[in-house]
Amino acid sequence: MTFQHFSFYGAITLILHLTPQHLALAHTQNLNNIEGDCDEHIVITSDRMLEPVKISTDPKKPRLPLPAYDGAGFLKTITGFNVGRKGGAGGDPSLRGMGGSRVSIVDDSQHVYGTCGGRMDPPTAYIYPETYSSITVIKGPQTVKYGPVGSAGTVLFEKDRHRFTETDFEGRLSSTQGNFDRQDYVGALTLGSTEGYIDIDANQSSSGNYKDGNGNRVQSRYDRHNANIALGWTPTDESVIELAYGYSNGQAEYADRSNQAREIKNENVSLLAQFDFDLTFLNQIEIQAYSNHNNHIMDQFDLGVNSGANVRRNTSGGHVWFELSPSHNASLILGVDYMQSQHKGRYIDKTQDNGLDDLLAKPFRDNLKYRNQALFSELTYAIAIGQIITGMRFDHWNTELFVSQTGQRRDDLMSGFTRLEVPVNASQYYIGLGHAQRMPDYWELRKKSINDLTQEAFSLRPEKNTQLDIGWIYQGDIGLSTSLFYSHIDDYILINTNTEKTTAYNIDATVWGGEIELNVPISEHWSSQSNISYSHGQNETEHTPLGQISPLEARFSVNYEYQAWTVGTLWRVVAAQHRITLGEGNIAGQDLSQSSAFNTFALNASWQHDLGILISLGIENLFNTTYAEHISRSGASNDAPGSEPMFQVNEPGRTTWVKVDYTF
């Protein structure tokens, strides 16, 4: 049996057979917390959940597998996520089998939505993770604080605010070089004093077309640059007012379509004020206002085809949050937020226009406009056995459609959750029940109605997800976290391409599954990490499997650490997916066929110098396996020089890379 065809279930059996021995060894040696000194080195496999429903990670740390330059590529390294590949950029993240707008992406308290009708630029396409201070994933509808509730989960890309006690500065430089002309450069500098600070970062990332395991070139080139500046004023030790501006632009090609992204541009501005108080009832007030603008040009002009579009999206909003202490054992957050987003576009008319200049000379027309006002409260209350966290949220939506049948609709949605957390010695147990009502997004409303293919699906009912989350987290001689969920979704919005035109309509669905993560310190220098994730989706209305559900997946690593050196391996094993419904899925993609099992192997090493230098390197897909993720898009339009079309967009073949970080 070859390595590439090693059975997934054989791997699981092997790991389960070995695990009890490792646990016994770890207990005998009475080793300390499994995180240990490796926090200073490369992150292998994924970050483990250390508190109920929440995973937090430092995106500046190098990790294996090497993430793509954007937010989706980073999320793929976190247990429970997968990404539908289109090329080298612009992948769509899916959490526990639920993709698209079911995963709420919050960019430093801003909601940044994509513009492209074909999802060339999902929200994560505008995010370069390494420039953020932390990334937090909240699984399930277990928070109501961060804007419209993510029914699958919420992802927070966050940046620190600085308060300097003396005049000082800090910064970092980073460079990554890899196969297929992969180049990333990052620079960041923060200068400050007791009165304020200036925070600057810039990055550039590019790659050529990569090759899959068969040596077939995949159309995946991209080139992108970003820059951000924040000016902060700290008039007191308990207050900060910050004005921030960000800019990003780039271009990309994809293997799943003929259109190229000539421009993917974003500009954003944010004003934030935070005031801390040492009062009986009031702890903090936070006020933020933001505005961001996306501009996207996609066309086939370079291929000699007179086809193109230019779409824009303007989103603005803000929030006011009050953090209160109504009693000695309770904390309460009250908030109000507002958001509006307007989508418009201009398109080539082949009977009158010819080429890019004609496209850019046309006026924009409105497509769709959202307005959202919301109130929420989130309470944490200490009880004898632990704590209860609960929240409620009310959203009022006003939506206007300016194309096809035109129209206006108003929706009032309620979301909420309650979670019990119980610590017992080195363990934490939790159980939470959440309910999220989700407004149909731009891509869903612009699909055709199942009842009339000449009309938009503007009458789609909001989704209503009721989800139970339970779990156990253990932090002792070993590290273990388990999380299980059961989700019943009334009026799930299904995308179907089996009809004459792509349609969107409501069904009822269930999704259940979970994740297990285990870290075992084998000896003073050796450790192992493993995780398993699984989701099972069912279309309860039509009694068929729910489309676009990633299969059972496991990752196993063994790591060696000695002084400034680390060496590690990563083995990723993915089962076949036979539970499909052809042509059905979500806005990010639809099932194309059953998929085969695969596994890949990777090596890595790192060296940490006392002067703030970290050098890390790796080889991914060591055995040059040819494979595609189950939820990846069709590769029929792959048109890279010297390439051939492929059934799905294959993942990269053997890839080597080296990364140098300098912190000062």
Query: Quick one: what percent of the chain has pLDDT higher than 90?
Result: 88
Q: Looking at residues 4-8, what average pLDDT do you find? A: 42
Q: Can you give the pLDDT at residue 66?
A: 78
Q: Can you give the pLDDT at residue 41?
A: 59
pLDDT tier for residue 36 given thresholds of 50, 70 and 90: very low
Q: What is the mean pLDDT of the chain?
A: 92
pLDDT digits (tens, 9 = 90+) for 315-333: 999 999 999 999 999 999 9
**Is residue 17 pLDDT above 90, yes or no?**
no
DSSP one-letter code for 167:
S
Q: How far apart are CA 105 and CA 103, in angstroms?
A: 6
**Is residue 146 pLDDT above 80, yes or no?**
yes
**Is residue 155 pLDDT above 60, yes or no?**
yes
Q: Is the CB of residue 131 less than 8 Å from the CB of residue 158? A: no
More confident residue, 546 or 39: 546
With vertex at residue 32, the alpha carbon angle to CA 29 and CA 37, rounded to the nearest 5 degrees, is: 120
**Is residue 660 pLDDT above 60, yes or no?**
yes
Name residue, tokens 């054992």.
329
pLDDT tier for residue 60 given thresholds of 50, 70 and 90: confident
Q: Which long-range contacts (CB under 8 A, 24 or more apart) does 401-407 make?
A: 401/367, 401/368, 401/445, 401/456, 401/458, 402/365, 402/366, 402/367, 402/368, 402/369, 403/365, 403/367, 403/368, 403/456, 404/454, 404/455, 404/456, 404/458, 405/455, 405/456, 405/458, 407/458
Query: Quick one: what percent of the chain has pLDDT higher than 70?
Result: 94
Q: Is the CB of residue 102 less than 8 Å from the CB of residue 158? A: no
**Is residue 65 pLDDT above 80, yes or no?**
no
Phi/psi of residue 215, nearest 5 degrees: 85, 5
Burial class (CB in 10 A: 0-12, 13-18, 19+), 411: middle
Sheet harboring 92-95: ordered strands across?
Answer: 81-84, 92-95, 98-99
Q: Is the CB of residue 640 less than 8 Å from the CB of residue 252? A: no
CB burial string 501-519: b at 16+ within 10 A, e below? ebbbbbbebebbbbbbbbb
Q: Is the CB of residue 445 less than 8 Å from the CB of residue 368? A: yes
Q: How far apart are CA 432 and CA 141, in angstroms?
A: 9
Neighbours of 611 (CB within 10 A): 8
Q: Looking at residues 91-120, what average pLDDT do you find? A: 95
pLDDT digits (tens, 9 = 90+) for 204-246: 999 999 999 999 999 999 999 999 999 999 999 999 999 999 9
pLDDT digits (tens, 9 = 90+) for 457-487: 999 999 999 999 999 999 999 999 999 999 9
Q: Can you give the pLDDT at residue 12?
A: 39
Which H, E and C letters describe 519-539, residue by residue?
A: EEECCCCEEEEEEEEEEEEEE
pLDDT tier for residue 45 given thresholds of 50, 70 and 90: low
pLDDT tier for residue 8 given thresholds of 50, 70 and 90: very low
**Is residue 14 pLDDT above 70, yes or no?**
no
Q: Can you give the pLDDT at residue 656?
A: 96
C-alpha closest to that of 484 among 77, 74, 52, 136: 52
What the block records as the tokens of 573 is 């094993």
CA distances from 400 to 24, 176, 269, 342, 458 (A): 62, 45, 25, 9, 9
CA distances from 360 to 258, 264, 366, 368 (A): 20, 15, 16, 20
Q: What is the CA radius of gyration of the chain?
A: 24
pLDDT digits (tens, 9 = 90+) for 555-589: 999 999 999 999 999 999 999 999 999 999 999 99
Beta strands in 235-302 (DSSP E): 239-252, 260-276, 282-299
**Is residue 33 pLDDT above 90, yes or no?**
no
Which residues lie closer than 8 Å to 647 by C-beta, 6 or more apart? 592, 593, 628, 634, 635, 636
Phi/psi of residue 288, nearest 5 degrees: -140, 140
Tell which phi-psi region holds residue 15, choosing left (phi > 0), alpha (psi between -120 and 50) or beta. Answer: alpha
Among 107-111, 287-291, 416-420, which stretch is predicted with the lowest mean pLDDT?
107-111
Q: Can you give the pLDDT at residue 605?
A: 94
pLDDT tier for residue 48 given thresholds of 50, 70 and 90: confident
pLDDT tier for residue 63 given thresholds of 50, 70 and 90: confident
pLDDT digits (tens, 9 = 90+) for 254-273: 999 999 999 999 999 999 99
Under DSSP, is residue 162 helix (H, G, I), strand (E, B) or coil?
coil
pLDDT tier for residue 34 given thresholds of 50, 70 and 90: very low
More confident residue, 476 or 21: 476
